[in-house]
Structure 1
């Protein structure tokens, strides 16, 4: 009875507790063409809207049904060549590092320019509308970071692939190259000499290309579309109040983070899975040994794969003793095995939550890896480009998956990899261990993201979170000036003393030599 009274009293008190954050107007910009990046933040933005904040979202993926407190500015025709670009990118990603960086540059332009050219966005810029907060994806679109200054609002950046040396610069974080690998590489956090050398090379190339090619192009866009800006682009880039990072040490590795860089991997996953469509549920349950799920993500489409590769995949699946759900973007697939169910779209997280789904065959995208960890499912990884290689390496290293080469695998290699993970319980056991670590947090990732977002609103940009290095130039930030004094003065003093001693000795030897010559003349 006492407990019931206490609960009623507590609920009554909570009902009268004022909100710690008033309703805010938030502008969210996630312009990249693949739905993957927007999937990362969709639940986050909807949750902010549900808490009373007014969201204006700029993306290529508007809400299918109107949502309270949610306004879409839709980017449409600018992305009509996206599929062709991805096909080209897949081929170029197997080339040199410089070619990969050029592809990245082309992709980054596809992000910022469609926003800047959008007429509805331009009307928003010219209006007197006020925003309390800017939330923006941070991926090579520095010109858009001017929106913080333009609307006189703090900025929160969201990195859908986690942190790297470029993202670090936005909040003056550090990535020690000896044990923090570049996301675009294949090294892990424990590296030998040659791997550390490779990591240094990869990070140096990315830094140079970013500052010599990408940022100058973003500078031109910045000057063109924000002609009245008073800050330099270099200052705008370091004007973030907070970074939300789609990473977590449980399936990655521990690394340094400043107070306003927050790990929120998993914030896109709903805690309670939805019931699957009847046909999918029936197909999964019809397989006595369970089922597996295969998807290449939202950017790479299985339907566009070469015929030979499609045949290798089908041959592998046909030889398996389990049913296979395959994300395939066409309604028919000639020669499809009887144990394969194709569909243009699957509720991926809900599929992986099903207890009879035993394995995820994945391209290794960050969101797919997070969902596999969330639901404790082992993987067979077939990475295609960028951070997917390292994501699959993580799974292999952590012991909850195996990897195969996407470019040249055979049906036998794919079948053997799947059977290895299905038949060896160590992969599932390890997936469960990592999943337990992933879930063991003070707050779930979505609540964490919302808490820190409203923290920035409550504290008007939360300057107390930001390290002082943002006020320092390159030489000061890296202590080049102080080290020059610390080591330079003793060095100059040593040189001066050496010079004095040399002069004294030279004079002494000269005097002795003159005396010797004089004695000889005498």
Structure 2
């Protein structure tokens, strides 16, 4: 009998379902972004599969019910995000993005709290053990967590956004930390560092004084005792951050920021027969092209499409191109068009040699998982920073829209199609997969951990230390006072030393003049 304890522990370590008590988990996902929830969905379903009771508030209810998973649907309350964005990136387009984030974030807060089914959560005193909520453009759910007395686990599907660095105590230094909406990578020029500094301040001020302020007022319509949202944000137990150092590089992350990049990637499924035949019959392999919902025929300049086609005509590979039109200029026979492809399954095929992408993080993650080199052409949102990760990690190369022409693009494709380059990408993929714990197991474990130890706080001291201490302004001020005092004292001493000499000199001169006068008389 005394061996049963160790045996049960061993069994818990090796069986796929954790030996933990079933938790009541509340998921709040007020952003109507389909690509975001595509990541979260698999994690939430996994929590349910491991025996937890998962209640999910979102715009994306399940098509078919599954055990332990309960939807509170917000579907139909607003338009699902996935529209068309400008082809060219500029300062004005970044400003537009910022206001979209603010307005959609504040709208999501209003829609969330006004929903009758959501209101029953606090009116009926529903019992939950932990809340999981997206960290994006609204902190409204943190007020709800406060009312329900729940520890919070944050989750995202992108790199850290500007206003989240301070709440988790993640150091932000424009000299080497990428900025989500701008170029430059980890080695920015002086001008790029200046851009980052200005836009970082702009985004943080906009979020604090518009988005958070509006959400605070919205919460006040329902509750009269919600603390400042930024204070609640600093109490988040863990952030499940959708990054990993093998792709996004080494960064200074606190212990409560857990990298879980890759858990959304499914095992490859068999391809549809027509797509499989097209790939299998390719003598020189296949290039896969997808720009998500960002680039469409209606917004892509005709000359850029022709430049891309000119490059593809010079390459021996066949092409699968996700495109919303039924044809392309010239109707090239080596290109297979469709408005939808099973992307992950395509990238898993060994004959798919390259991926021409807009650098969305989900597609980038699938590319590194399957070891497919990328030509990245960033357009919008976090794509510029993702493109830098692609290039700096060795996963691929990037080309800017402004530089898109036949010569430049052909050079990029020849670079990643080189067997040596592709071999290095396969090694990178192997390193990306090689982890002590899978991304999904890690995400689930820390969610359960937050529920088990709800009274413990793991916030980095950097998140709560006053700004004047964080930047050592008090110490610098002391040094400044000491140096200034030293300079003033030195000047005073020098004056005191020089003044007697001057007096003696003046007296001597007066005596000489007086003596001279007497002699003359």
TM > 0.5 between the two? Answer: yes
Q: Which has the larger radius of gyration?
A: 2
Given the alignment, which residue of 221, 236, 243 partners 2:232? Answer: 236
When residues 12 and 490 of structure 1 are mapped into structure 2, their CA distance, relative to the original with a 3 A threshold, is closer
Residue 87 (structure 1) aligned with residue 85 (structure 2): yes
Q: Report the counterpart of residue 402 of structure 1 in structure 2.
A: 397
Given the alignment, which residue of 245, 262, 280 partners 1:285? Answer: 280
Q: 1:344 deviation in Å?
A: 3.1
Q: What pairs with 1:129-140 in structure 2 (closer than 5 Å)?
A: 129-140=126-137
2-side partners of 1:300 and 1:108: how far apart? 23
2-side partners of 1:312 and 1:510: how far apart? 82
Q: Report the counterpart of residue 142 of structure 2 in structure 1.
A: 145
2-side partners of 1:31 and 1:302: how far apart? 30
Q: Report the counterpart of residue 469 of structure 2 in structure 1.
A: 476
1-side partners of 2:297 and 2:74: how far apart? 25
Q: 1:57 deviation in Å?
A: 2.3
Q: What pairs with 1:254-293 in structure 2 (closer than 5 Å)?
A: 254-270=250-266, 272-293=267-288
Q: Which segment drifts farther, 139-148 or 308-317? A: 308-317
Give CA-to-partner distance per residue, 1:88-138, whole Å, 9 cap, x none. 4x44xx222x65134223134214413422424345454422332222222
When residues 512 and 127 of structure 1 are mapped into structure 2, their CA distance, relative to the original with a 3 A threshold, is farther
Q: 1:26 deviation in Å?
A: 2.2
Give CA-to-partner distance per residue, 1:407-456, whole Å, 9 cap, x none. 5734675556445533x212211211211111121112111211222222
* Contact preservation (8 Å) 1:312, 1:410: yes
Residue 342 (structure 1) aligned with residue 337 (structure 2): yes
* Contact preservation (8 Å) 1:267, 1:445: yes
1-side partners of 2:415 and 2:464: how far apart? 54
Residue 51 (structure 1) aligned with residue 47 (structure 2): no
Q: Report the counterpart of residue 151 of structure 2 in structure 1.
A: 154
Q: Report the counterpart of residue 445 of structure 2 in structure 1.
A: 451
Q: 1:165 deviation in Å?
A: 4.7
Q: Report the counterpart of residue 374 of structure 1 in structure 2.
A: 369
1-side partners of 2:307 and 2:510: how far apart? 99
Q: Report the counterpart of residue 40 of structure 1 in structure 2.
A: 39
When residues 389 and 211 of structure 1 are mapped into structure 2, their CA distance, relative to the original with a 3 A threshold, is closer
Q: Report the counterpart of residue 206 of structure 1 in structure 2.
A: 199
Task: State how many pairs are aligned.
Answer: 502
2-side partners of 1:492 and 1:312: how far apart? 62
Residue 360 (structure 1) aligned with residue 360 (structure 2): no
* Contact preservation (8 Å) 1:161, 1:246: yes
Contiguous gaps of at least 5 residues in structure 1: 1-5
Given the alignment, which residue of 380, 383, 396 partners 1:385? Answer: 380
**What TM-score, normalized to structure 2?**
0.84
Corresponding residue SS for 2:247 = coil
**What TM-score, normalized to structure 1?**
0.84
Q: Report the counterpart of residue 494 of structure 1 in structure 2.
A: 486
Give CA-to-partner distance per residue, 1:145-184, whole Å, 9 cap, x none. 3233232212222232223553221211213333222232
RMSD: 3.5
Q: Which segment drifts farther, 468-477 or 288-297? A: 468-477
When residues 330 and 454 of structure 1 are mapped into structure 2, their CA distance, relative to the original with a 3 A threshold, is farther
* Contact preservation (8 Å) 1:142, 1:215: no
Corresponding residue SS for 1:87 = coil
Given the alignment, which residue of 215, 218, 223 partners 2:211? Answer: 218
Residue 438 (structure 1) aligned with residue 436 (structure 2): no
* Contact preservation (8 Å) 2:162, 2:180: no
1-side partners of 2:406 and 2:61: how far apart? 39
* Contact preservation (8 Å) 1:295, 1:327: yes
Q: Report the counterpart of residue 62 of structure 1 in structure 2.
A: 61
